[in-house]
Structures are given as C-alpha cells and as structure tokens.
Amino acid sequence: MIYSRLVVARDNTFEEFSLHSPQNYIISENNIDLSEATVHKDYELIPTGNIEIVPHAAGKKGVYIRNGDKYELLRSITSINKTTELIVLTDNELPKINQIDEDVFEITDKYSGVKDITIKDENNKYYSAILKSDRLYLEETPEKEFLITVLDFAGNKSVARFLPKKAGERFTSVNVFPCPADSFVEFELTLNVPTSKLLKIYDNSGRLIYKQRLMAGNDHFIWDLTDRRGNPVANGVYHYEIEAGSAAARGKLVVLR
C-alpha cells in the first residue's frame, strides 16, 4: 500500500502524519502489543530512497519511531533511508524516579522522553541538576526534605519525595599533596556519602582566586596553580575550602617554585 498521508481514527479523534516523496516507499501494516501503551496502528516503512516524516499529534497521542528496542516520540520532521517501524500510540506510562546515591537519581521514561525536571525542598528552594542519559546529578545536595518532579513530552508527570541522608561530617579524609608545590596540587577526598563539592582557594589576604565545582563521584582533582583567569599564582601560602552541603573541610597549602 502507498500513502501520501496516513490518518488513524479512534474514538472520534484523529492522529495523522505526512510522508513526503510517496514514490520512494512502500508500507506494510503490522500488529504489535505494548503493555504500557495504547497502540492505535503501526506501520513498517520500506523506502526505496530517502523520505521525510512530518508528525502531527495532540495530547498524549503521538507518532513514535523504533530506535533499537525502544520507541522515540517524533517531535519534528525526520528523514529516514532504511526500513523503519512507526506506531501511533498513547503513552500511558509515568516516568520513574529512583535514587542511586546521595545526589544521583535514575530517571526512566520508556517512550516520550523527559521534557522538564524540577527539584525543590520544603521551603520552596529550587535546586539545579544535570541530566546525562538516564542519570540526574544534583549540583547541590538539599539539607531538607525535597521533591523531584519529572514531566515527559506526552504530559505524564511523576513526583517523588526524598529525605536527605544525615550530612554529619561528610569528609572521612582530605589529602593535599605535594606540599610545597611547584607545578600542581592534588586533592584526594574520601566522603561517607557521595555528593557534589565546591573547591575554593584563597590567597593569604583572603581573596578568592580559584573556584571549581566537583560532581558527585569525582573525588580526585588537580589544581594547576593558576587563578580564575588562567594566570600562574605567586609563591606563598594559600588556603583551601571544600564544601559538601553543610559540611566543609579547610586547610593550607604552599606554592614554592
């Protein structure tokens, strides 16, 4: 069967998507079963040349394309040049939020993809985070009870509540070497809970000359004895401060070239 436009009707609603260059493909219809979604129709496109798909959908219904063992929501014009499986479905599955470490969370959304994430504590303070693949890394660990809200592109929303672990004295050990230093200084940290850290270095007058944020899991850092502008620092005594939530470790180091 050859179509220039596919239209699927269900319960007096319509989902449709356009196929450009209709002479470049053939379509075969299939039946599949997805336990977490309502499948309206699925198609297998077999191009004889490159084609473009222009999706149209409303609400939670959308056109999805197979990518490996998953289906991804089509949000814009997509070109394909190989046999591709498409489905028109309703995504009913809520995103999943699981805590991995103190400030690392697993975010799972099977079909539509994550659209927005917010983190706020009981005082309505908001926190920043970085999402890499399916891992969410908080840039600051909340000290109070906090909520993580995840919204996907289909409009599904999940909210999870977490109680922070006791901060206590998070630093089990802090090793700074060599001292004196002539070309670099290494920081090796051991913490009783994984968390992000903020390293600050001050000169002997108390002026902040360097600052670096370290993500959770990164407990080794080398300072190349330069300031925030990249200029080499002078010989002398310097003070470091490493913050991890409400805990902090402080000490001195010496630069002598």
Query: What pLDDT shows up at residue 38?
Result: 67
Fold of the 171-255 domain: Immunoglobulin-like (2.60.40)
Is residue 227 within 8 Å of residue 201, measured between CB atoms?
Answer: no
Mean pLDDT (whole number) for 10-21: 58
Q: Which residue has the higher pLDDT, 40 or 191?
A: 191
Query: What pLDDT shows up at residue 9?
Result: 45
Question: Amino acid letter at 144?
Answer: K
How confident is the model over 91-113, as pLDDT tens digits? 778 899 998 877 889 999 877 78
Averaged pLDDT score across all residues of the chain: 80
From the number of C-beta atoms within 10 Å of its C-beta (0-12, 13-18, 19+), residue 170 rates as buried
pLDDT at residue 1 is higher than 60: no
CATH placement of domain 96-162: 2.60.40
Of 158-162, 167-171, 236-240, minimum mean pLDDT range? 167-171
Tell me whether the CATH fold assigned to 96-162 matches the one assigned to 171-255: yes
The residues spanned by each domain of the chain are 5-91, 96-162, 171-255
* Tokens 């370290």, residue located: 214
- Whether the model clears a pTM of 0.85, i.e. scores above it, the answer is no
How confident is the model over 34-47, as pLDDT tens digits? 655 666 667 777 77
